[in-house]
A and B are shown apart, each in its own frame.
Chain A
């Protein structure tokens, strides 16, 4: 089972769970399973078209999936998937 790490600000939508164990062959499958298990999380991960939100980055291990095969990046049973909110702003 791959493991998804939930960032602190989204844990209010997972009943305070920090991790989610998931069977999924790809990042997309794993994240969909997470969103199905915790429906309140879904709008924070995906837009209306079902695409990952632009303010959310996803890492597998130490690698940004943007540098791998994006949402099609395959997952091993030992994979650790991190959801990383983009933190930015200005004045």
Chain B
């Protein structure tokens, strides 16, 4: 069975937004929403918005987005002619590899972008998408492309 190969294109602004948010939230996990004009492969992300980490408990290792913030994010997409295409979060002092907690709660379709933050500085960024039929992630290739930034 061949696996889908996905490419995620981030505008430089989105790339910087995720890194800055990860650094600002460190040593805690940050999270937020990713939007683009429409879905496709490559999938373009032209806007990122912060969401509060609503997790009760250890936010150094966990994040959660409140249902009301999620509803707001869907409304934002509809109001701005955008599509909600993914979620980003940070892994303070851990690699940008999707964890078993990420996998357990992952939704289909979304791109899950993870930025590793070490010592308060953003390090590597990787993206993951749930495979069809099986509960496993496939990695998406991330490209940073100024050419796509004009939307």
Which stretch of A3-11, A20-28, A71-79 is in the interface?
Answer: A3-11
- Interface residue? B21 (CB, 8 A): no
Which stretch of B5-13, B40-48, B101-109, B140-148 is in the interface?
Answer: B101-109
Q: Which residues of the partner chain A approach B105 to less than 8 Å between Cβ atoms?
A: 55, 86-89
> Which DSSP category, helix, strand, loop or mixed, fits chain B's interface?
mixed
Min distance, Cβ B59 to any Cβ of chain A, angstroms: 9
Q: How many A-B residue pairs have CB under 8 A?
A: 78
Q: Is B71 a contact partner of A82 (Cβ separation < 8 A)?
A: yes
Q: Which residues of the partner chain B approach A91 to less than 8 Å between Cβ atoms?
A: 29, 61, 91-92, 94, 99, 101
Q: Is B61 a contact partner of A85 (Cβ separation < 8 A)?
A: no
Q: How large, as a class, is the contact surface on chain B? A: 20 to 34
- Using a CB–CB cutoff of 8 Å, the interface residues on chain B facing chain A are 29, 31, 55, 61-65, 67, 70-71, 74, 77-78, 83-85, 87, 89, 91-92, 94, 98-99, 101-102, 104-110, 112
List the 6 shortest-distance A-B pairs measured between CB atoms, nearest first: A89-B102, A91-B94, A9-B107, A90-B101, A90-B62, A87-B65
